[in-house]
Amino acid sequence: MKKTLLFFAFLFTISLAAQEIKISGTVTDQSKAPLAGVSILIPGTKTGTQTAVDGTYIITIKKGAILQFSYIGYETKKATVSESTLNITLNESGEALQEVVIGSRNPTRTVTESAVPIDVISMREIVSKGSQTNLNQILNMVAPSFTSNTQTAADGTDHIDPAQLRGLGPDQVLVLVNGKRRHTSSLVNNNGTVGRGSVGTDLNAIPAFALEKIEVLRDGASAQYGSDAIAGVINLGLKKNTNKQLDVMLFGGGNFSKGSNNNTGGNDGNRYQLDMNYGTGLGKEKSFINLTGSLQIRDANSRANDRTGNIFNAYNAVDQRATAAGTNINALYGNITNTPNTAQILSEIKTYAPQVLYFTPTQQTAISSANTISQMQTALNFDATAGELAYRGLERKDFNMRIGQSALQSIQFFMNAAYPINDKLEAYAFGGTSYREGLSSGFYRLPNTFASYPTMYSNGFLPEISSTVTDVSIATGIRGKIFENWNFDLSNTYGKNTFGFHIQNTLNASMRENSPKEFEAGGFGFYQNTTNFDMNKKYDVLKGLNVAFGTEYRIENYNIGGGQPESYSLYDINGNTITGTVASNTRVTDFFGNLRPGGSQVFSGFRPANVVSKGRNSVALYTDMELDITEKWLVNGAVRFENYSDFGNTTNFKVASRYKLTNNINLRGALSNGFRAPSLHQIYFSTTATLFSNGVPSEVGTFSNDSQMAKLLGIPQLKQEVSKSGSIGFTAKIPDANLTFTADAYVVNVRDRVVLTSSFLRPGGSPASGSPADVLNRLFDAAGATSATFFANAIDTQSKGIDIVISQKANLGSVATLKNDFSVTFSGTKRVGEIHASPILEANGQLNSYFAENSRVYLEEAIPRVKANLTNSLIINKFDFFLMNVYFGEVTSPNTVDANRDGRIEGAVINGKAVEIEHPVWGAKIVTDFSIGYKITEAMKLVIGSNNIFDTYPEDNLGPITAIRPRLVNGALDYNATPTTIDLTSGNQFAYPDRVSQFGFGGRLVYARLSYKF
């Protein structure tokens, strides 16, 4: 019986085999060049293969079955198997019907035929080979016109990397997902970083593994897409494969660098990431759902040098001996000049001072002889750092800041789906959620400072900011054909971002022992809902006319949530909240009489006065036409009208054209105007604190643009930024060499650019009645303030540059394929014209506070003006080699602040000698990435590589330097000011520049990546 069953099984197997045939062939592009890595699948199954380096493939399949051929940048093609040989030619993708192609609303327009420059970045190669694990890192390395770096010691900006395109601001580039507007972050970059005062899109909330491609439109597009598109558009295309296989990718790596562990070497900053993607059909042809999940853990790294300077004073030493004996000297006073315990304080100090064995006889005598608090303050006011370090068993490195990337944990989920209702209608949906927890730190609070409190932190403390960033988005829509073959798309897109601050390992120094060590400091929220209706149709006019029009309605809301009272309040010696005028002898002080600050150290919470919830709406109408006048000449035009509920109307246009000199050489150019609506964040953001002078309270900080303070000082209501831009370029192809070349020059003029000003100050003194200083004093007093910062339409700018991109692919016989890509950008942004100032402030000589020198440097010189990328990818059988070199041009630090616009003080005099003082400049560097991949099986691949393989760092930071900070005297700059010492390293902490960097300072990252297809 068993043999009979085996016999029939054998016959059945032969019967099945007889139905299958071995198919082979070659896949090429339109120029007949072979395509390596083309995905070949039997639809609805996991069975498939990929083409080899010479474009060939072999697969066993049933006769009459269907094979699907797909490759990024090319149209997917299906073919029925009838013979043993099946050769396929794939056409460059004109994009699937109904999809928006950035820069053109013609659904059949290919990137190479566009009238404006567009970069298409295939995520398959970058995600599988490179070391970059999030979108900002990826774009920073592969797109020269894009710049983004992780910040350090910059509060919330440590967790949201500001990104720029073509040298313009983070809020002047529009981000789309599947052609739909993406909401921005809720965080305002209000610290001293690149992009200060801007609100960008949080690209890192989207898992890179969910993307099939990234399109970067390097041209103004406000007439097509509305606000924020002054610099260009980044469109993120989500995966939509349906191969019913689970793609899993594991990434592990860390910094193995000379700079690791505070420049002692070894390993730090480890990263671990798990990405998963699954795609399948939904039971109907052309339906799909594609799901992506991502989990990331990133450890902090630090590049601080060992701290120099004073850490402990003599009082810290005595207090430590008293504490060890169970005596709390600090509890004996709230205000050292107003305490009934003076005699006991002096007695306790004299009791324990002799236990400090390294005090010299002279020092001990001075302590024992002190009979008043003032005399004791003088006796104990000397550096005791060396002795205390030895006594406490500590080293200077124990007091280092954490300077480098923040710690991060992230979980993300994204979905992309579509379902055809009938042959003319399709429903679709995409979106996702992201949850991130970050941990960064501020400046170390040393034990000898008034911000610390030795009873709670005897060795001082490193305050930490724990951030919680949540992001949710969902887009739904229906698209298809109506009327006489008009294509339509009706959609609704909702997005929300929240940013919460939890401050830990800190204190409110004015609360002393009663202070918590952790605080909820409040946070931000922003949501946006956009409804779009778009239509387009192609007509047989001349060589083809595409007509598109549509409308958009958008609702936005921004809010600031308050922190717990202890996170922002100031308390007196009796533990009562100080809200009004207070006697100085009831304020909490340290032993030396310095007033202790209120609020949570490193990040003060948002007060009730800062809490806000404001919204607005906008409606837009647009039309877009694209006409092929002849086979060679294309003309495109767009007009958009938009109305905002808070500032009114704007109308924008764009014209673009492309002319084919030959089949392989095109000329192209564009002219447009554009706009960017001021964000709700910029209008309503505020963060203020109360300072006391002689017991009188006053407000300081950033006041909202609609505040009474802004009105009193003549700060106008924010209005839209407006731009005029032009570009001209050409594209060329050499088919025989499989080479393409593009070069595009551009200029963008932006008027009424929104900036975050420096602080305007109350002049003080006793100026003549009616003088500008007297008027300004009265205005500040009416607002109860002494210092104020605002968002204002303060400047006009001009950005110019040229982008060059060269791509080439070579087939090295049947052995290997080599792909080379080179791109370079030369860019520059300058302030032009006069500062748009409040007459009240300008009359008082505070014009420079509108756009101070450090703001100028951030705008013009803090990012590389030259950036180039050379990428080489070589495939040899089962091996592939990936090499990328990125050139980052020089950057300038804003830290040494002077007044002239050329970056130096000319004619300054120090000790009778004329000097010139420049801002520190960090020179150009090249960063090299390298990886080797091996295809273990058809389903498994291993990649080992290194980012920054040569362990390149920026040039070392400058130590303390002597410089002049010119003073404003009677409205004029006085360059004969007393020289001051400026320590750019903050006590030797910053080994590298703290506010600017071309590529960060993490050093070499070594990693391994394992991918598997189930």
The segment(s) of the chain belonging to CATH 2.60.40.10 are 2-89
Q: What was the pLDDT predicted at 854? A: 79
Q: What was the pLDDT predicted at 157? A: 60
d(CA 819, CA 933): 15
Query: Token pair for residue 867?
Result: 């950036």
What is the DSSP pairing of strand 88-89 with strand 20-28?
parallel
Give just the sign of the alpha carbon dihedral 302, 304, 306, 308: negative
- How far, CA to CA in Å, does 814 sit from each of 54, 56, 756, 818, 877? 5, 9, 59, 12, 9
Q: How many CB atoms lie within 10 A of CB 266?
A: 12
Give just the sign of the alpha carbon dihedral 578, 582, 585, 591: positive
Q: What was the pLDDT predicted at 296? A: 95
Q: What was the pLDDT predicted at 108? A: 44
d(CA 559, CA 884): 43
The CATH T-level fold of domain 2-89 is Immunoglobulin-like (2.60.40)
Q: What was the pLDDT predicted at 667? A: 95
User: Of the candidates 634, 561, 551, 566, which has an alpha carbon nearest to the alpha carbon of residue 600?
Assistant: 566
State which amino acid sits at residue 450. Answer: F
Listed as ranges, residues in the chain with pLDDT below 50 are 1-18, 94-101, 107-110, 897-917, 961-973, 975, 977, 979
- How far, CA to CA in Å, does 596 sit from each of 246, 509, 590, 856? 58, 6, 7, 34
Q: What was the pLDDT predicted at 915? A: 43
Give the predicted TM-score (pTM) of the model: 0.85
d(CA 351, CA 347): 6
Query: Token pair for residue 58?
Result: 């072999």
Q: How many CB atoms lie within 10 A of CB 731?
A: 22
Q: What was the pLDDT predicted at 192? A: 64
Q: What was the pLDDT predicted at 759? A: 86
What is the DSSP pairing of strand 891-892 with strand 960-963?
unpaired
Mean pLDDT of all residues belonging to the chain: 85
Say whether 780 sits in a helix, a strand or coil: helix
Q: What was the pLDDT predicted at 932? A: 95
Strand (E) or helix (H) holding 734? strand 721-734
Q: What was the pLDDT predicted at 849? A: 83
Q: Phi-psi region for residue 197, left (φ > 0), alpha (ψ -120 to 50) or beta? A: left
Q: What was the pLDDT predicted at 100? A: 39
